[in-house]
């Protein structure tokens, strides 16, 4: 199948040809016809499969057929909701590239950035709005956004939105759009809670999927290093010195961990930058651009900050910490081995993380190959750290006043 077989607007075909999209990817082949026909869709696809174009191209095709003079011109007709700012920016970029030869306007609004420039663009009128849930609801409450003309609503990375606690925001946003609309829901994994949400929000949807749910990309070789927690940094330096090179993303579970590792690697003269939830939007965008432009070859990130970001030609994903949510492992390693290219995913596992490893291996239905030959092997007798001592004031069920008042984000 070629893009021409999908009968897309020649202006869109011209733009994607210039981006060297020669052939639709499997998710695009399956999704585009359904979206063009007006069906609701549940799309299960990992990052890197081309899912952005799978919904963007048919949306643009339909919108480009509406004459400018018609009612609704420069009103929001497609709304894409994304869990993170980085992903929102990227989707906006993609829409702008694909619609280059049309008159359609796209903008993105997201938290962590000044509201005023976003408001100015909204006032001029846009056809396609990409938004994170909080900023969208905020601007809607101030009467700066009209959703009455929305024809297509896209919920991207739906599983992530639920993990981040956006479920009520997502439902609210859906209810602010007209009843008669097309809804597209994309998710890397399809746990029960997503199925329930889809059932609630979508009408007789078509299911499209490009790989077995929760399966890891086949082109990624996976390696496991059992290592004591205090020795992880030495192992990381050892691997960087001797065995791994190219573009590397290192994942840590917490922003504190990200900062600590960044400082250590900088001390050892590695070209490194980082992204996590405590960094300003401009710092995050700058770090990402430095990585894309190869000014730095190592990016350290938490999962939330890195989710959905498209970094082409990633050679290695290093899981410095194993994620406690097994699906996150699949998301992380899906960043390498893209579009048929070979990738490598290395994971460190300390004794405390063995239970995470068990969950991950159950999910991907295979054992990850253990690399024994390294200088910092885990002591086979090592026991997990005991965090809660009997009689301690930090006993289960007893929260400090501070933690009751404010649950601090750790990602």
210: left (phi over 0), alpha (psi -120 to 50) or beta: alpha
Nearer to ligand AMP, 55 or 225 (CB): 55
DSSP letter (8 states) at residue 397: T
Say if CB 334 and CB 217 are below 8 A apart: yes
Which uninterrupted H or E stretch holds 152?
Answer: strand 152-155
DSSP-based three-state secondary structure for 134: helix
- Tokens 């301690």 appear where? 392
Nearer to ligand AMP, 27 or 194 (CB): 27
Q: How far is the CB of 20 from ligand AMP (least distance, A)?
A: 6
Q: How far is the CB of 53 from ligand AMP (least distance, A)?
A: 4
- Tokens 């903008």 appear where? 107
What strands, in cross-sheet order, belong to the sheet with 78-81? 106-109, 128-131, 78-81, 152-155, 182-187, 41-44, 206-209
DSSP letter (8 states) at residue 227: B
Q: How far is the CB of 51 from ligand AMP (least distance, A)?
A: 5
* Cβ-based neighbours of 200, under 8 Å, separated by 6 or more: 171
Q: For residue 293, give both structure tokens.
A: 């432009």
Nearer to ligand AMP, 212 or 339 (CB): 339
Nearer to ligand AMP, 82 or 328 (CB): 82
Q: How far is the CB of 338 from ligand AMP (least distance, A)?
A: 6
Say if CB 187 and CB 159 are below 8 A apart: yes
Nearer to ligand AMP, 52 or 152 (CB): 52
Nearer to ligand AMP, 25 or 328 (CB): 25
Question: Which residues contact ligand AMP by CB under 6 A?
Answer: 21, 23-25, 28, 47-53, 310, 312
Say if CB 44 and CB 187 are below 8 A apart: yes
């Amino acid at each position: 199948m070629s893009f021409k077989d999908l009968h897309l607007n020649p202006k869109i075909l011209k733009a994607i040809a210039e981006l060297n999209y020669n052939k639709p990817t499997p998710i695009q082949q399956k999704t585009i016809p359904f979206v063009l026909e007006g069906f609701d869709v549940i799309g299960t696809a990992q990052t890197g499969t081309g899912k952005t174009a799978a919904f963007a191209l048919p949306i643009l095709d339909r919108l480009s057929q509406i004459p400018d003079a018609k009612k609704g011109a420069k009103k929001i007709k497609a709304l894409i909701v994304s869990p993170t700012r980085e992903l929102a920016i990227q989707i906006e970029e993609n829409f702008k590239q694909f619609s280059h030869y049309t008159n359609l306007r796209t903008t993105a609004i997201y938290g962590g950035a000044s509201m005023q420039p976003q408001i100015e663009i909204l006032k001029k009128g846009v056809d396609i709005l990409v938004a994170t849930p909080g900023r969208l609801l905020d601007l809607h409450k101030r009467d700066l956004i009209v959703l009455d003309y929305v024809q297509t609503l896209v919920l991207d990375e739906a599983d992530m939105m639920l993990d981040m606690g956006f479920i009520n925001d997502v439902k609210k946003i859906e209810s602010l759009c007209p009843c008669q609309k097309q809804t597209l829901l994309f998710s890397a994994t399809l746990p029960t809670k997503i199925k329930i949400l889809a059932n609630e929000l979508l009408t007789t949807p078509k299911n499209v999927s490009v790989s077995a749910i929760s399966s890891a990309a086949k082109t990624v070789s996976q390696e496991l290093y059992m290592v004591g927690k205090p020795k992880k940094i030495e192992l990381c330096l050892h691997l960087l010195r001797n065995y791994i090179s190219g573009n590397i993303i290192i994942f840590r579970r917490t922003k504190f961990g990200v900062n600590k590792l960044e400082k250590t690697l900088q001390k050892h003269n590695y070209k490194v930058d980082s992204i996590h939830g405590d960094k300003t939007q401009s710092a995050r965008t700058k770090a990402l651009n430095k990585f894309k432009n190869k000014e730095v070859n190592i990016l350290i990130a938490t999962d939330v900050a890195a989710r959905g970001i498209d970094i082409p030609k990633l050679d290695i994903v290093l899981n410095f910490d194993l994620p406690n949510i097994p699906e996150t492992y699949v998301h992380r390693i899906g960043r390498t081995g893209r579009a048929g290219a070979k990738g490598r995913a290395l994971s460190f596992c300390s004794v405390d993380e063995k239970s995470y490893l068990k969950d991950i291996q159950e999910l991907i239905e295979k054992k990850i190959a253990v690399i024994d030959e390294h200088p910092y092997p885990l002591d086979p007798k090592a026991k997990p750290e005991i965090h809660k001592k009997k009689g301690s004031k930090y006993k289960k069920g007893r929260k400090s006043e501070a933690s009751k008042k404010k649950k601090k984000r750790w990602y």
